[in-house]
Amino acid sequence: MNIEELSKSQLILLTILVNFVTSVATGILTVSLLDNTPAIVTQTVNRVVERTIETVAAAAPAAVIQAPAPSNQDLVTAAIGADAARAVAIYAAETGTSTPAASIGTYISKSRIIVTAAQDSLPKEAIIEFTSGAFIPASLSRSGKGITIYGFADDATLPKMTSPALVAPGDLKLGATVLALGADGSASTGIVARVSGKGVYTTLPDIGVGSAAVDLSGNLVGISAGITPGFLIGSDVITTLLSATLTDSKNSPQVTATSTAAAK
C-alpha cells in the first residue's frame, strides 16, 4: 500500500505505532547496555536521574489547596456571635441584680475592662454579669468624651474569649458594613454613612445606649451613645481613655471587693 493513500486517522495510528515500537526498542537496548557496563557507570546514570528528578520537583510550583472563602452570611453570623459573647449587663453593687441593669456594655478581654456609654445613672461600684453567667465586681476606672470604662481587681478571674481590635474611625470606609446587637437582643445591620470628629454615623437603628457596633471581622467600630439612632462614639475615644488610665493609674479609683453572693 502506498503511504500517500493513507487517511489522516491511519497516519496518526501509524505514527503512534512507530513511536511505541521505538520506545520499547530503546528501553530494551538501554537495559542490555547497562547490564553489560561496569557498576560505576550504572551508579552514575542513577545519580543523574535522581538529581534531575530533584531539580524538576524543586522548580515545579507546589499545589496549594485553599479552603473556600467564607460567604458574607457566614461573616455576618460570626461577627454577631462575637459581639453577643462580649455583651455584659452592668448592675449597681449596692442593689445587686435584684433591680434592672443600669446599662449594658462590652467586655474587652485583652485590657480587662468593660466599655459603655457615659450616663448619669452609672454606678461607681458595679456588678458585671457575663454571658457565661458569672457575676464579677468592678469599679469605674475612667470616663470622658461620652465613654465610661470599668476595671476589675488584679486577682479577679475573668472569662476567656477573643478580644476585639479597636477600629479607628480614620480606617473606616464609607459604605462598610456595621453590625450590632441591640439592648433587646435583636441583631441589626447597616453601613458607615459618615465619619467626623464627633463620631461615626451609620444607618443602624436605635440599638440602645452602650451597645457596641462591629465590622464583619467582629472588631469594635464604636459604642452607641443613644442620642441619635445610628450614631456611634468612635473606638479612638476608648484608646485615648485606656492610654490615660495607664499613665495615671496611681490616681485611678481602686476596685473594691464585692462578693458574688452580694450580687445575687
Domain layout of the chain by residue ranges: 3-59, 86-163+245-263, 169-238
Question: Rounded CA gap, 134 and 157, in Å?
Answer: 10
pLDDT of residue 55: 73
Q: Note the pLDDT tens digit of each residue in 160-171.
A: 998 999 999 999
Q: Do 169 and 199 meet the contact criterion of CB atoms below 8 Å apart? A: yes
Same CATH fold, 169-238 and 86-163+245-263? yes
CATH architecture of the region 86-163+245-263: Beta Barrel (2.40)
Does position 40 have pLDDT exceeding 80, yes or no?
Answer: no
Q: Is 104 exposed, middle or buried (0-12, 13-18, 19+ CB in 10 A)?
A: buried
pLDDT of residue 231: 95
Does position 31 have pLDDT exceeding 90, yes or no?
Answer: no
Q: Residue 261: pLDDT band by 50, 70, 90 thresholds? A: very low
Interior angle at CA 119, CA 129 and CA 208, nearest 5: 65
When pLDDT is averaged across residues 97-116 and rounded to a whole number, the result is 93
- pLDDT greater at residue 212 or residue 263: 212
Q: Report phi then psi at 222, rounded to 5.
A: 180, 175
Q: Note the pLDDT tens digit of each residue in 181-224.
A: 988 888 999 999 999 989 999 999 999 999 999 999 999 999 99
Does position 240 have pLDDT exceeding 60, yes or no?
Answer: yes
Beta-carbon contacts of 130 under 8 Å, excluding residues fewer than 6 positions away, are 88, 107, 136, 159
pLDDT of residue 194: 95
pLDDT of residue 255: 40
Question: Rounded CA gap, 194 and 209, in Å?
Answer: 20
Does position 10 have pLDDT exceeding 90, yes or no?
Answer: no
Question: Rounded CA gap, 33 and 42, in Å?
Answer: 10
Q: What is the dihedral of CA 50, 55, 59, 64, to 10 degrees?
A: 30
Mean pLDDT of the chain: 82
When pLDDT is averaged across residues 177-184 and rounded to a whole number, the result is 90
When pLDDT is averaged across residues 238-245 and rounded to a whole number, the result is 85
Does position 29 have pLDDT exceeding 90, yes or no?
Answer: no
Return the CATH number of 169-238, one of 3.30.450.40, 3.30.70.890, 2.40.10.10, 3.40.630.30: 2.40.10.10
Beta-carbon contacts of 147 under 8 Å, excluding residues fewer than 6 positions away, are 115, 116, 117, 118, 223, 233, 237, 238, 241
Q: How far is CA 120 from CA 103, 147, 237, in A?
A: 11, 12, 19
Q: What is the dihedral of CA 55, 56, 57, 62, to 10 degrees?
A: 120
